[in-house]
């Protein structure tokens, strides 16, 4: 998988060019010493000759690029003991995450040098031995050491960590009594599944007993005053009424968000780890950029306010450009207007990101066109969720359709194990796509042109009807270079340059899609003898010689009593691909014709289907994966 490393690094190049590019040489060397001395099963893209700040997986520098402040390497497969005097040289480090590796040995004693450490995530490793003296890290805020083999007692040095908001020591082998810890900022605690004994100290009775579960702790009479009467028990640990100091609202909010995000990130990480387990381990780092996100805010780089993702109203997504850049991604394909990627965000949201190339429109024209495209809410049009415009980078964000495009359904995986695309589905693709295009043609006072209709831009919506994507880009991109092989077979004869696409050339392209559905042949394909065949010409020649039955996809021949419908649809397709643009039907006529092929069709539909067909904006029916 040539996953996202390309995506991220290219984007980073494009977007961060304004950042100072000084490489922290000593910190870099420390990292190299660390990674070279430490066995790991997944390769990292830590190339000595590339800048550490912008390109190395899991590394984040201070704003001026002089020091490394965050290191996140979860699930890289580190095995053994952390080589001494490596990470500890990153003395400006604030965030360290090495969770979910197989690190053994004692807590590294040289971590005492990391005086600025605020967030420490070492959970799910195989650390053992005693816990360290915590008093050296005055700024510690979140500590997760759960799911290791730490033993010995809970150190008193935790007291006095005035910043500590969350402490997770669960699922270790800690023993002895819990010391009376004064931790004024502590919001979250988990000491469960250890071998602790004795009773709950006064300072910690505000936490619910579940955080001490799995120990030998007598709770007895202490339990009673713990729960404040006006709070449901579950909430008593979130905001202790009894605690003298009031926690700032922002801090509280931050913690809540942090808790949510971390949980979700961990979940996403697990899912991804599971999914990818069977794949090749090399080149894996691109998909493994899952990290704790909340501390991110501390060090997030100055983002130009105008360079942000623009979301359309009603969009339920919640992520920003940073998240998108961090997402793992996979190349879906190279389209007429640029590369398309499937990006999986930290909360497991999956979107399609299109990087447009050759955009000739200025910012305002671009935004205007996006507004038009983004305003279309129709169940047969793939919704544009968000876009991004900067000088170097133009992105469009769409929903991801897990079934893939109609092109891949028709042409992919022929042969053994293939599930053929049945006739009913093909009819639904045809009618849905027609309705989507008609809706597009109604936009912008009836002037909007799709401009790039082809089967790889058509997907199945939740009701398994066709749904078109990639519209409205012709006016903002530069005229195409001579021939784009893929789009060529769909292009109407009068169109020599995609900027000249019209609604009637859309009808032509749609006709080609219909032919594709009927024949399962690509619009331009080769026969045995290397000869290029244009689908339209081929169908013409076959039909002229009255071998009509020969044109149809053999996979369709298994369905009984559909011949008549196939012939009717073929005639509609032929009327769409006539040479003269003004002789082609309008899209609304095409819809009527297709609906007539199947008289049962309208009855199958809930009434919303017909309503949403009108060009007036109606509330969008649910569109999703
Ligand atoms: C490191 O980067 C340089 C140029 O940036 C490239 O020539 C070299 O092949 C890369 N090495 C590895 C191991 O990727
Ligand atoms: C701890 O945090 C404060 C405030 O962010 C900062 O001024 C101080 O330098 C930090 N201490 C260390 C040792 O980094
Ligand atoms: C982790 O440590 C425990 C006990 O120290 C040991 O039993 C276990 O095999 C170790 N696991 C790995 C993966 O090293
Ligand atoms: C902690 O575990 C180590 C081995 O990992 C052992 O040598 C040591 O005695 C244990 N300490 C306690 C207090 O149990
Ligand atoms: C906590 O701080 C107080 C004074 O600020 C000090 O006397 C005490 O030794 C500290 N306790 C620990 C465990 O560091
Ligand atoms: C680690 O512990 C912190 C603090 O208790 C908690 O917020 C976080 O959810 C934990 N992370 C995981 C993956 O359990
Ligand atoms: C504490 O951690 C354990 C896992 O070690 C988990 O099952 C439990 O739900 C956690 N409790 C709280 C209150 O977070
Ligand atoms: C606790 O640790 C054990 C062994 O390391 C593991 O099997 C178990 O799933 C962990 N429990 C939780 C709740 O994480
Ligand atoms: C502590 O960590 C465990 C496992 O890492 C997690 O299940 C639990 O939610 C965490 N507890 C808190 C309070 O963050
Ligand atoms: C639990 O603690 C009590 C004293 O607090 C002790 O008498 C008892 O033996 C302990 N039980 C176990 C299983 O350790």
pLDDT tens-digit series, residues 245-263: 333 333 433 433 444 344 4
DSSP string, 95-137: EEE--SSEEEESPPGGGGG-TT--EEE--SSEEEE----GGG-
Question: Does the beta carbon of 192 sit less than 6 angstroms from any atom of ligand 7?
Answer: yes
CATH class of residue range 304-597: mainly alpha
Beta bridge mates, 227: none
Does residue 498 contact residue 479 with C-beta atoms inside 8 Å? yes
> DSSP states of 544-609 as a string?
HTT-GGGGS-GGGGGSTT-HHHHHHHHHHHHHHT-SSGGGSPPHHHHHHHHHHH-TTHHHHS-HHH
Structure tokens at 522: 């690509």
Which numbered atom of ligand 8 lies nearest the CA of 149?
A: 5
Give the residue with greater pLDDT, 108 vs 371. 108
Those residues whose C-beta lies under 8 Å from the C-beta of residue 408, and which sit 6 or more positions away, are 456
Q: In this predicted model, what pLDDT tens digit does every residue of 416-431 receive, in sequence order?
A: 667 788 999 999 999 9
Task: Give yes or no for residue 172 having a pLDDT over 90.
Answer: yes
Please give the distance, rounded to the nearest whole angstrom, from the Cα atom of residue 193 to the centre of ligand 8: 9
Which ligand has the minimum distance to the alpha carbon of residue 282? Answer: 1
- What is the predicted pLDDT for the residue at 170? 97
Ligand 5 atom closest to 157 (CA): 13
Token look-up 């919704």 returns: 383
Q: Which pLDDT tens digit goes with each residue over 271-307? A: 333 333 333 322 222 222 333 333 222 222 333 444 5
- Residue 222, SS3? helix
Which residues sit opposite 568 in a β-bridge?
none
Higher pLDDT among residues 22 and 394, named by residue? 394
Lowest model confidence (mean pLDDT) among 75-79, 161-165, 606-610: 606-610
Query: Which of 470, 474, 407, 410 lies closest to 437, judged by CA?
Result: 470
| Confidence band, pLDDT 50/70/90 cuts, at residue 215 | very high
pLDDT tier at 194 (50, 70, 90 boundaries)?
very high
Tell me if 36-218 shares its fold with 304-597.
no
- The Cα–Cα gap between 352 and 350 comes to 7
CA of 129 to the centre of ligand 4 (A): 6
Q: Average model confidence (pLDDT) for the chain?
A: 76
CA of 484 to the centre of ligand 10 (A): 77
Ligand 6 interacting residues, C-beta cut-off 6 A: 123, 142, 144, 146, 166, 168, 188, 190, 259, 262-263, 266
- 537 Cβ partners below 8 Å, 6+ apart? none
pLDDT of residue 14: 38
Alpha-carbon radius of gyration of the chain: 30
Q: In terms of C-beta density within 10 A (0-12 exposed, 13-18 middle, 19 or more buried), how is residue 485 classed? A: exposed
The per-residue pLDDT for 166 is 93
Ligand 7: which of 145, 190, 211 to mutate, judged by most atoms within 8 Å of the beta carbon? 190
Domain ranges of the chain: 36-218, 304-597
By alpha-carbon position, which residue is closest to atom 3 of ligand 1? Answer: 49
More confident residue, 297 or 98: 98
Mean pLDDT on 143-159: 95
How many Å is the maximal CA-CA distance in the chain? 96
Residue 297 annotated as binding?
A: no
Asked if 43 contacts 35 with a C-beta cutoff of 8 angstroms, the reply is no
User: Per residue in 313-350, pLDDT tens?
Assistant: 666 666 667 777 777 778 887 777 788 888 887 667 78
Task: Please name the CATH architecture into which domain 36-218 falls.
Answer: Alpha-Beta Horseshoe (3.80)
Ligand 8, atom 4, lies closest to the CA of 147
pLDDT at 39 over 50: yes
Determine the distance separating the centroid of ligand 10 and the alpha carbon of 197, expressed in angstroms: 7
The pLDDT tens digits for 528-587 are 666 778 888 888 888 777 666 778 888 888 888 888 888 889 999 999 999 999 999 999
Atom 6 (ligand 8) nearest CA = 147
Q: Which residue has the higher pLDDT, 317 or 145?
A: 145
Atom of ligand 1 nearest to the CA of 45: 14
Say yes or no: CB of residue 149 within 6 Å of ligand 3: yes
Residue 223, pLDDT > 60, answer: no
Question: What is the CB < 6 Å shell around ligand 10?
Answer: 197-198, 216, 218
Rounded Cα distance between 39 and 41, Å, is: 7
Nearest ligand to the CA atom of 48: 1
Ligand 4 centroid – CA 151 distance (Å): 6
């Amino acid at each position: 998988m040539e996953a996202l490393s390309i995506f991220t690094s290219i984007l980073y190049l494009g977007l961060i060019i304004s950042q100072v590019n000084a490489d922290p040489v000593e910190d870099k060397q420390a990292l190299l010493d660390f990674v070279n001395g430490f066995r790991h099963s997944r390769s990292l893209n830590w190339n000595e000759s590339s800048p550490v700040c912008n390109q190395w997986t899991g590394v984040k520098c201070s704003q001026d690029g002089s020091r490394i402040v965050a290191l996140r390497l979860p699930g890289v497969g580190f095995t053994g003991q952390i080589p001494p005097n490596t990470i500890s040289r990153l003395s400006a480090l604030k965030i360290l995450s090495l969770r979910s590796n197989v690190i053994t040995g004692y807590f590294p004693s040289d971590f005492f040098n990391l005086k600025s450490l605020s967030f420490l995530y070492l959970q799910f490793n195989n650390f053992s031995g005693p816990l360290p003296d915590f008093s050296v890290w005055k700024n510690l805020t979140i500590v997760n050491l759960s799911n290791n083999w730490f033993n010995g007692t809970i150190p008193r040095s935790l007291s006095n960590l005035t910043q500590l908001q969350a402490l997770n020591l669960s699922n270790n082998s800690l023993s002895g009594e819990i010391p009376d810890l004064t931790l004024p900022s502590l919001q979250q605690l988990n000491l469960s599944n250890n071998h602790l004994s004795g009773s709950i100290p006064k300072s910690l009775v505000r936490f619910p007993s579940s955080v001490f579960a799995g120990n030998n702790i007598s709770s007895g009479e202490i339990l009673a005053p713990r729960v404040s009467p006006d709070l449901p028990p579950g909430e008593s640990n979130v905001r202790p009424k009894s605690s003298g100091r009031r926690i700032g609202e922002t801090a509280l909010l931050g913690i809540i968000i942090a808790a949510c995000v971390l949980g979700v990130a961990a979940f996403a990480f697990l899912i991804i780890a599971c999914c990818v387990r069977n794949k090749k381990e090399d080149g894996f780092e691109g998909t493994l950029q899952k990290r704790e996100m909340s501390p991110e805010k501390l060090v997030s780089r100055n983002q130009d306010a105008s360079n942000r993702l623009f979301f359309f109203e009603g969009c339920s997504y919640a992520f920003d450009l940073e998240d998108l850049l961090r997402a793992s991604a996979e190349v879906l394909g190279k389209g007429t207007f640029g590369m398309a990627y499937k990006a999986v965000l930290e909360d497991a949201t999956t979107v399609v990101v299109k990087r447009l190339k050759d955009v000739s429109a200025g910012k305002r024209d671009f935004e205007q066109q996006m507004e038009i495209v983004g305003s279309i809410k129709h169940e047969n049009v793939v919704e544009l969720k968000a876009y991004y415009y900067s000088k170097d980078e133009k992105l469009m964000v769409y929903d991801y359709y897990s079934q893939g495009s109609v092109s891949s359904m028709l042409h992919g995986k022929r042969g053994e194990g293939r599930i053929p695309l049945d006739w009913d589905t093909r009819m639904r693709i045809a009618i849905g796509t027609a309705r989507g295009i008609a809706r597009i043609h109604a936009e912008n006072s009836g002037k909007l042109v799709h401009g790039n209709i082809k089967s790889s831009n058509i997907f199945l919506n939740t009701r398994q009807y066709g749904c078109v994507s990639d519209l409205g880009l012709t006016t903002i991109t530069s005229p195409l270079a001579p021939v784009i092989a893929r789009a060529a077979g769909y292009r109407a004869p009068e169109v020599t340059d995609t900027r000249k696409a019209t609604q009637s050339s859309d009808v032509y392209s749609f006709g080609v899609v219909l032919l594709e559905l009927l024949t399962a042949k690509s619009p331009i394909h080769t026969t045995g003898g290397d000869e290029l065949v244009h689908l339209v010409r081929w169908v013409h020649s076959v039909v002229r010689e009255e071998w009509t039955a020969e044109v149809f996809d053999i996979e369709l021949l298994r369905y009984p009593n559909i011949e008549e419908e196939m012939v009717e649809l073929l005639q509609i397709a032929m009327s769409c691909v006539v040479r003269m643009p003004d002789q082609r039907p309008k899209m609304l006529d095409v819809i009527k014709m297709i609906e007539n092929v199947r008289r049962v069709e309208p009855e199958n539909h809930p009434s919303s289907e017909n309503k949403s067909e009108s060009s007036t904006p109606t509330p969008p029916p649910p569109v999703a994966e």
